[in-house]
């Protein structure tokens, strides 16, 4: 897997030279859709001068009739699967992306033309060791679904069981590794040059996206997620998860039980099959709430294409490539936030908002309290069933952003799951009240803190930690004292801004060196001209004249470089 350890801009820039062809392709698409201004702001010339010199700057296509948000979406679609995945992730981040751009990003489709059947055969032979004709009674060469990472084929095992085979696209991992490395470089430049973007920590966003993406393209991880969810819901007759055939699965091939159900969005087919839409709605909401609040392990991408309905109103979940795990403390904090909103407690809401977000310096508490109180007054002084949950959460996140509060990724995935399932339930049953349905789950989470076994466990944990502290603390104090006495204790300081300062010093020192070299050339050339060192033309030494010309060229280049960066 691609290493995500942070390094300096220069080091990351050198890594991007390995992918210069792809980098030029990405920059060409930016230019094609009219984003030359972004490239200038990022000062890419400073890091990839060769890349831009050989970049063919054709006249951009006529994009004036499209809005900037539309052009962003069109560029992402042309950039390929990695950027499409990123766009889909950002379409759920109301705290990062303006509303007009979100409306465009939600249009991104993860459906692409299928790849050749010969490549499917090659992948299966490499991964499973045999031709599909030897492994299956039949294997449909036309896929039943095709996405950016892989495609799905229907097949039948030798014992007659029907299966769905997910086969990964050839070289998709290598392409995504290249794109992620370029994204990291671009995000690093954004942090350095665009103040409005820097507060969102784009490098951290790309690193988190990368971790999620590389887990998603490892089908063995998806198989493990599938089996874990199956164990958690053992005995629950309202939910079904297809079986994974481990002996026929690898990192690039996943063999699962074939599900012949009805997509939850196909309302007409549900009614024709005589299924109960209200019961399906209730069960779907219960499944999501159980995943989040009972188990802390939930499907992080429950869109309608991943939810099927089986006979007897049984819900079937597919595609566990994207899941999220949240610990008990975070679940309880999340419940406390929602509970404080429902009970119109602005002080507690402010407290929980600070606890569930990331911030570098504490915001103005008076102003934050006032904004939270205004938010509650605007959205929550009404009956629970009339609250627009998605709109309220979006505005709450925007308010937090105004105070430089960044939402934790896990919290966002929970909000995304709730928002998605709410939209699905409203599609099935417009009268369904999602928030009211959540309240009993909130109450159980709050009461669980006072369960005897929970309290006993915390007492034992505290006792053990106290015992270890009393046991080891005196010895550690003596050790620190000994190190002080022997002058063996050193203090390491980390200065986040030091790298920027060092780069500035490097640039200044480089200019000083160039100035010294130019001065030396001028002086040396003057001496040579004065001494009339041969060869001489028209009484002027050719070597001296060449020295003057070279010094003038260097000086001109330094001045142009400084003017381009607006730092004369």
Pairing label, strands 536-537, 406-407: unpaired
C-alpha distances (whole Å) from 171 to each of 119, 138, 150, 252, 463 are 11, 26, 11, 11, 53
Contact (Cβ atoms closer than 8 angstroms) between residue 168 and residue 218: no
Q: How far apart are CA 114 and CA 132, in angstroms?
A: 18
Structure tokens, 463: 């006792």
Q: How far apart are CA 151 and CA 34, in angstroms?
A: 33
Structure tokens, 242: 């297809």
- Dihedral through CA 344, CA 345, CA 347, CA 352, nearest 10? -90
What does the angle CA 362 – CA 365 – CA 367 come to, to the nearest 5 degrees?
120
CA–chain centroid gap for 432, Å, is 32
Nearest CA among 404, 399, 338 for reference residue 369: 399
Give 16-25's long-range contacts (Cβ < 8 A, gap of 24+): 16/47, 16/48, 16/181, 16/182, 16/185, 17/48, 17/51, 19/178, 19/181, 19/182, 20/48, 20/50, 20/51, 22/178, 22/179, 22/182, 23/48, 23/51, 23/182, 24/51, 24/54, 24/55
Residues that are catalytic: 301
Q: Phi and psi at residue 357, in whole multiples of 5°?
A: -125, 170
Q: Phi and psi at residue 327, in whole multiples of 5°?
A: -75, 170
String of DSSP letters for 69-81: HHHHHHHHHHH-H
Q: Return the half-sphere exposure (C-beta side, CA atoms, 13 A cut-off) of residue 451.
A: 10
CA–chain centroid gap for 321, Å, is 14
Q: How far apart are CA 240 and CA 276, in angstroms?
A: 17
Q: How far apart are CA 35 and CA 57, in angstroms?
A: 12
CA–chain centroid gap for 99, Å, is 18
Q: How far apart are CA 544 and CA 376, in angstroms?
A: 79
The helix (H) or strand (E) run that includes residue 299 is strand 297-299
- Residue at token pair 């959540």: 438
Pairing label, strands 297-299, 150-157: unpaired
Question: Phi-psi category of 373—alpha, beta or left, where left has phi over 0 and alpha has psi -120 to 50?
Answer: alpha
Q: How far apart are CA 124 and CA 167, in angstroms?
A: 8
Alpha helices in 6-63 (DSSP H): 9-16, 20-32, 36-41, 44-47, 49-53
């Amino acid at each position: 897997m691609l290493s995500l350890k942070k390094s300096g801009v220069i080091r990351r820039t050198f890594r991007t030279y390995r992918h210069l062809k792809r980098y030029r392709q990405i920059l060409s698409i930016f230019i094609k859709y009219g984003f030359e201004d972004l490239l200038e702001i990022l000062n890419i010339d400073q890091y990839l001068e060769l890349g831009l010199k050989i970049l063919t700057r054709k006249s951009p296509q006529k994009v004036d009739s499209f809005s900037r948000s539309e052009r962003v979406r069109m560029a992402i679609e042309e950039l390929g699967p990695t950027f499409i995945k990123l766009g889909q992730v950002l379409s759920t981040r109301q705290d990062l992306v303006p509303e007009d751009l979100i409306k465009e990003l939600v249009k991104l489709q993860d459906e692409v033309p299928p790849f050749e059947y010969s490549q499917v055969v090659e992948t299966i032979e490499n991964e499973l060791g045999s031709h599909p004709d030897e492994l299956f009674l039949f294997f449909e060469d036309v896929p039943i679904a095709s996405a950016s990472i892989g495609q799905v084929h229907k097949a039948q095992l030798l014992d007659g069981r029907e299966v769905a085979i997910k086969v990964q696209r050839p070289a998709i991992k290598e392409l995504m590794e290249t794109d992620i490395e370029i994204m990291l470089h671009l995000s690093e430049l954004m942090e350095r040059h665009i103040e409005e973007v820097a507060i969102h920590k784009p490098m951290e966003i790309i690193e988190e996206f990368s971790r999620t993406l590389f887990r998603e393209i490892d089908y063995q991880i998806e198989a493990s997620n599938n089996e874990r969810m199956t164990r958690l819901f053992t005995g629950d007759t309202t939910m079904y998860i297809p079986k994974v055939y481990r002996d026929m699965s690898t990192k690039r091939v996943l063999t699962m039980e074939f599900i012949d159900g009805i997509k939850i969005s196909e309302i007409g087919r549900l009614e024709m099959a005589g299924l109960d839409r209200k019961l399906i709605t209730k069960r779907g909401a219960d499944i999501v709430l159980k995943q989040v609040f009972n188990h802390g392990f939930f499907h992080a991408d429950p869109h309608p294409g991943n939810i099927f309905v089986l006979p007897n109103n049984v819900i079937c979940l597919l595609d566990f490539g994207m899941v999220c795990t949240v610990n008990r403390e975070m679940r309880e904090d999340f419940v406390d936030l929602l509970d404080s909103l429902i009970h119109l407690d602005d002080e507690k809401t402010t407290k929980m908002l600070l606890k569930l977000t990331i911030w570098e310096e504490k915001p103005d508490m008076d102003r934050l309290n006032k904004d939270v109180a205004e938010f509650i007054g605007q959205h929550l002084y009404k009956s629970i069933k009339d609250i627009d949950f998605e709109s309220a959460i979006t505005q709450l996140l925007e308010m937090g952003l105004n105070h430089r509060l960044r939402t934790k990724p896990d919290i966002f995935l929970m909000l995304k799951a709730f928002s998605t399932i709410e939209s699905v339930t409203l599609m099935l049953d417009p009268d369904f009240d999602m928030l009211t349905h959540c309240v009993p789950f909130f109450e159980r989470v709050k009461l669980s803190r006072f369960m005897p076994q929970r309290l006993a466990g915390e007492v034992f944990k505290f006792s053990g930690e106290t015992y270890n502290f009393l046991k080891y603390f005196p010895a550690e104090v003596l050790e620190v004292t000994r190190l002080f006495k022997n002058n063996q204790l050193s203090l390491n300081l980390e200065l986040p801004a030091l790298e920027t300062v060092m780069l500035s010093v490097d640039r200044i020192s480089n200019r000083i060196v160039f100035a010294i070299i130019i001065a030396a050339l001028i002086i040396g050339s003057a001496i040579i001209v004065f001494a009339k060192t041969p060869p001489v033309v028209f009484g002027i030494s050719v070597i001296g004249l060449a020295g003057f010309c070279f010094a003038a060229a260097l000086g001109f280049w330094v001045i142009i470089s400084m003017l381009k960066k607006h730092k004369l």
